[in-house]
Amino acid sequence: MALNTQNITEAQVQWTGGTVTANTRPYRIRLRYRVGNSGDFQDLLDNQSNPIEYVRNITGHSQMIGPVALPTAILNKPYVQLLWQYYFMGTGSGARDQLRVDDIIITRGKCESVASGIWSVASTWSCGRIPTVCDAVTIRSGHTVKAQKLVTLGKSLQIENGGVLQYFEPNATLNVSTNP
């Protein structure tokens, strides 16, 4: 997967690993990265310096991995590659495990209001840009953020006690949906 992380100072990755069929040769899927399109891939590590990976399990098993922070070395770069590497972790012969990767989600850091203002003005937000569907958005207590009728609100929206989201049009509606 290729990413442009320019002007991004915080990002996370989350994904689901699963065992389609467990067989006699055990495999894993490890998440790796590199900056640019050449050079060696590096393991993405957790905060205990362990590689981020899915370890095969029984047939039908799945596990959500993350969210895991992307390292600062790959932030603010024009081209970053993420690789989910399927690899053998044992000896012997026989049928390989059939594993899967699903539901890859890349998110940026929080985008919180820094003062009352207009949704579509970057200076209203701590992230320094207009929030998108990739952002977890918070309207802080004491702030009123005004939005147009048709605006992309973000991946999630939290309005703190005393915070206000106000639409320019009096008949506007807010639709909130979740993905299970």
Q: Calculate the average pLDDT of the chain.
A: 88
The whole model's pTM is what? Answer: 0.70
Note the pLDDT tens digit of each residue in 62-72.
Answer: 999 988 999 99
Residues whose CB is less than 8 angstroms from the CB of residue 102 and which lie 6 or more positions away in sequence, other chains included:
15, 16, 18, 62
For the ranges 9-13, 64-68, 93-97, 153-157, the lowest mean pLDDT is seen at: 153-157
Sequence-distant (6+) residues with CB within 8 A of 129 are 7, 111, 122
The residue among 8 and 59 whose pLDDT is bigger is 59
Q: What is the pLDDT of residue 180?
A: 42
In the prediction, which pLDDT does 154 show? 72
Contact 17, 100 (CB under 8 A): yes
Q: What does DSSP assign to residue 114? A: S
Q: 125-132 — which CB contacts under 8 Å span 24+ positions?
A: 128/7, 129/7
Cα separation, 74 vs 80, in Å, equals 7
List pLDDT tens digits, range 85-118: 999 988 888 899 999 999 998 888 788 999 999 9
